[in-house]
Amino acid sequence: ASIQVTSYDMVRVGDWITMPGLNADGDVIDMSLHTIKVQNFDKTITTIPTNRLIIDTFINWRGMSDAGGRRIKRAILIDQTSIDFLSDEQYQHLKSAFLLDK
Please write down the long-range contacts of 2-7, taking CB distance under 8 Å and 24 or more positions apart. Answer: 2/31, 2/32, 2/33, 2/34, 2/50, 4/54, 5/31, 5/36, 5/50, 5/53, 5/54, 6/31
Per-residue pLDDT at 95: 79
pLDDT at 96: 80
Task: Report, as ranges of residue numbers, the positions in the chain whose pLDDT lies below 70.
Answer: 65-71, 98-102
* pLDDT for position 101: 61
Q: Are 21 and 56 in contact (CB under 8 A)?
A: yes
Q: Which domains does the chain have, with CATH numbers?
A: 2-70 (2.30.30.60)
